Structure formats: structure tokens, C-alpha cells
Structure 1
């Protein structure tokens, strides 16, 4: 059904998220101004070594809890302004996506090729064209639209669920000298109660970037920020290798996507 297929967000911000995670691929570093604590094994490493180890931990992760906030001036109704997702390498996920310019919010659950999506009223009105959104919001209020990744809209929204795809994006960028980013190591600080080492630099577009890598235990990337020229994006990563919840919405709380398509044809 062509009307519904046009509601596809831009891969639900998968490219946006990958761009932030790709900050982990500097080809060179400047370790001047090291502020690490002596005796802290990770903090004693160079900025390049810390970045390399954090990148490897991300590439090895089986799952992760990812939150993203994008306050950039160009975020529109097809772009995620906020994401809160638990996702894994098998493409399973659960969480919420909130879109810019009052594009609404959608709860998302994906297990294998099965997808459940529960949009709010603002999402329906923003994403479904020619006034049909209000009718869809009323017809399917507080219920999940259920289908598979064969449906264009559900596929487009759920592409963000694939951690492996994001890892591949990071890995593919890693070998290019053209993407070199100078990183400078700062003093150990804390992010949400976790001791971290900040690595600061600029990306290829000249925006200021900071990677916050765990100073103790495994050198996980905890947070990445990108700011400048209308960009203000923060990604936080926690719960590495913690399984994605497997609970799916009940049948009584779900409606098949074919029913949605049928109802919209009648509006």
C-alpha cells in the first residue's frame, strides 16, 4: 500500500547513530596534555590506544543499551531527536524513538523479522499523509501495529535495531587515513557515576567531538558527543552484552499491519 509506505522515516536514524559511533575510528592522535591518573592502567595508555581498545570492545559487543539525544537545528520530523534502544547483533531490539519537529514518538519491539510499533498521535499525524494520520491515531490508539520486516514502513523504522550493521559501519571506516582525527586525552572524570577518560578532537567536518571511555575495567565507550555548526548530538552506551528483553506485546494489544493498510484505504 503506497500511502503507508511513504511514512518510512530515514532508516529511523541508523545513519545518524552510526555517524556518532564512527567517531571511534581515529587514525592518529596527539597525546600531549595527558591527564590520566598514574596507576590506572587504561588512563596510562595513549589516546590512540584507548580509542582502539574502546572501538574493539564495541565491535565485540553482543548487545548494548543505546540512548541518543540530537538537539541539532536541522533535525526534522523524519529524524530521531531521541532514541532509547536495547539492541543486539541478531537485529532484536526494544525501546522508543522520538522524532524532531513534533514528529511524535513510537515504541518499538523487534524479534527476528517480527516487528511491533506503537506510535503516538503526533507520529500518526506527522508521518501519515493527507490528513489520514488523525484517523489512524483514533483507530489504532494504544495498540501496536504488528507485522514483519517485509512491510516497508516497519522495515524502515526497525533498521536501527541492528547492532551488527552499526558495528560494520565503524569497522569499515577504520582503515582509511582520509578519516584521521587527532584525539587528545584529558583528565579522568565521571559520566553518570562511571570514571571515564575523555578523548577530544574534531571530526572530518570540523565539529568538536569527545569520546568518554571507561577508566576502570573494560575500556567501554560510555558516551560520545559531537557539537558545532548546528550539530549537538550525544550518544550514551551502557549494558554491554546484557541480553535484549524478549517479551513481545500480546495479541490483544496488537493489530496486524494489513488491517492498518485496509483502514487507511477506506479513509
Structure 2
């Protein structure tokens, strides 16, 4: 999990935040604690599967889900980065990205174009604008770019789960990596299996089902963002991706 994990989107997110000065700061809660179960009381449908198989299928099933609620947090050079995104499969996402002391942005991505709406704190920190009249002119407005843009576009990496998780899904079944499976536990009532990397402190929780999905990825020493935590939810309802009206989009620079 270590080698593949290093290509996870924490690095891209940190880079996007650095290039665009996108930063934000909503509060966040620590990941829920796992509660150990009596091994005699449950039947583990993944008992006969290798840790590599579990990671492959959990990642592929998560990437294939039509709706995923992705939240997370990490540390970027002493600043706490948080994100809260509703991902519509391969069709894009909506949500918020934030960093302490820098502000926050609302994000809409339709698979090809990204729109971000910064708050006042972002505008002040990113541009140095403090004049109330200037801030009023951009308040509630979006700036936009294509997904391939070297600055704003990179922030959409978290929305593209197929790309984010392809490294885990493509681990060879014969890979002699040092992942190990833990005992069956529960997180918020959900039966889960822990897969750990014995080479470092990274680990994942997946649903303890015949077709597992990711519930958490935790990497205390990720490149780009340290203390990185992803939490995955599956709302079961479609995510609406609605581009903002033209009247709310800044054109011709900002």
C-alpha cells in the first residue's frame, strides 16, 4: 500500500492549493473509532481473500459507485486542509475545500469544467484585496477553468475517484506487499475490516461484505499532506451537478 498510496491525490490537492492559493477552514471531526467485535460472533465474508484482493475490489467498487460522499483532512505546512465533497461517479462533484487562515471555496465540477466560488477571506488572502467595494464586486461569484488547467483544474483531482484509486485497484494479485488484514470490527455500526501496511503507519478500513468498499484511508505520513484522512460515505441517492448561471461567473480575469 505504501508505493501506490504515495500517488494518492493528497499531493495533487496540496499542489492545487499552493498554485491557486485556494484554502479553507471549516471545522472537522476526527475519524470514528473502530470497536472490536467478538470473532466468534460474526462470519467474515472476506476471510478467504487476500489483503491485496480486498484492496483491489474495495477500491474498484468505490470508484464505480454512482454517488460517494468524500470528506477528509490533512496538514499542509502547518495549515489544516479540509474537504467535503459529493462525488457523482465519473460525472463530477460539488462541495467545499478549505484551509485554516486562508478561507474556503465552493466547488462545482461537471467532468470537464470546474467552477469555484471563493469566500471573502480567500479573496483577501489570495489577491490582497481589502477594499470593501472590490470585495463586493466579486462576492458570490465563481471563477472557472477546464479540468486540464494547471492551476484550478488540479483541484478536481479529488472528484475523479477512478483516477484517485486506480493504483489500489491495479495492485497485482501476486504482489508480495506487506499488507495484512486485521480482525473484523465496527465503525458507527458498520462491520469493517482493517488492512494495514506493515512498512509504515498507513491503513484502510473497508466494508466487511462480499463486495467491499472503502470507508477510510488513513496515512499519517502522506507526501504533500501529512496526517491525511479520507472518509467515504455512500448516500444511495444521485448527486446533482448544476453549473452556476452565467451571471454568477467572473469573465475576463479577476
Q: What TM-score, normalized to structure 2?
A: 0.68
**Counterpart in the other structure of 1:209:** 202
Cα distance, 1:9–1:234 mapped onto 2, change above 3 Å: closer
* Secondary structure at 2:62 match in 1: helix
User: Which one of the candidate residues 229, 249, 256 is aligned to 2:250?
Assistant: 256
**1:155-166, aligned counterparts within 5 Å?**
155-166=153-164
* Alpha-carbon distance, 1:226 to partner: 1.9
Question: Structure 1: which 5+ runs fail to align?
Answer: 1-7, 14-33
* Secondary structure at 1:186 match in 2: strand
Matched residues, number: 220
Q: Is the 8 A contact 1:210 1:225 kept in 2?
A: yes
Cα-to-partner distance string for 1:231-265 (whole Å, 9 max, x where unaligned): 3221111127753212333444x12332xx1xx4x
User: Which one of the candidate residues 233, 247, 255 is aligned to 2:242?
Assistant: 247
- Structure with bigger helix share is 1
User: Which one of the candidate residues 167, 190, 198 is aligned to 1:194?
Assistant: 190
* Secondary structure at 2:125 match in 1: helix
User: Which one of the candidate residues 59, 62, 69 is aligned to 1:65?
Assistant: 69
**C-alpha distance in 2 between matches for 1:179 and 1:81:** 34
* Alpha-carbon distance, 1:52 to partner: 3.7
Cα distance, 1:74–1:181 mapped onto 2, change above 3 Å: farther
Cα distance, 1:74–1:124 mapped onto 2, change above 3 Å: same
* Alpha-carbon distance, 1:197 to partner: 1.9
**C-alpha distance in 1 between matches for 2:71 and 2:209:** 22
**1:101-250, aligned counterparts within 5 Å?**
102-128=101-127, 131-132=128-129, 137-146=135-144, 148-149=146-147, 153-171=151-169, 174-175=171-172, 180-190=177-187, 192-202=188-198, 206=200, 208-216=201-209, 218-227=211-220, 231-239=226-234, 242-250=237-245
* Alpha-carbon distance, 1:120 to partner: 1.1
* Secondary structure at 1:143 match in 2: coil
**C-alpha distance in 2 between matches for 1:42 and 1:134:** 61
* Alpha-carbon distance, 1:108 to partner: 0.4
Q: What TM-score, normalized to structure 1?
A: 0.65
Question: Structure 2: which 5+ runs fail to align?
Answer: 1-12, 19-36
**C-alpha distance in 1 between matches for 2:160 and 2:59:** 17
* Alpha-carbon distance, 1:119 to partner: 0.6
Aligned CA RMSD, in angstroms, stands at 3.6
- Structure of greater Rg: 1
Cα distance, 1:103–1:211 mapped onto 2, change above 3 Å: same
Q: Is the 8 A contact 1:185 1:197 kept in 2?
A: yes
Cα-to-partner distance string for 1:198-232 (whole Å, 9 max, x where unaligned): 223345xx3x1231111246311111212259932
* Alpha-carbon distance, 1:64 to partner: 2.0
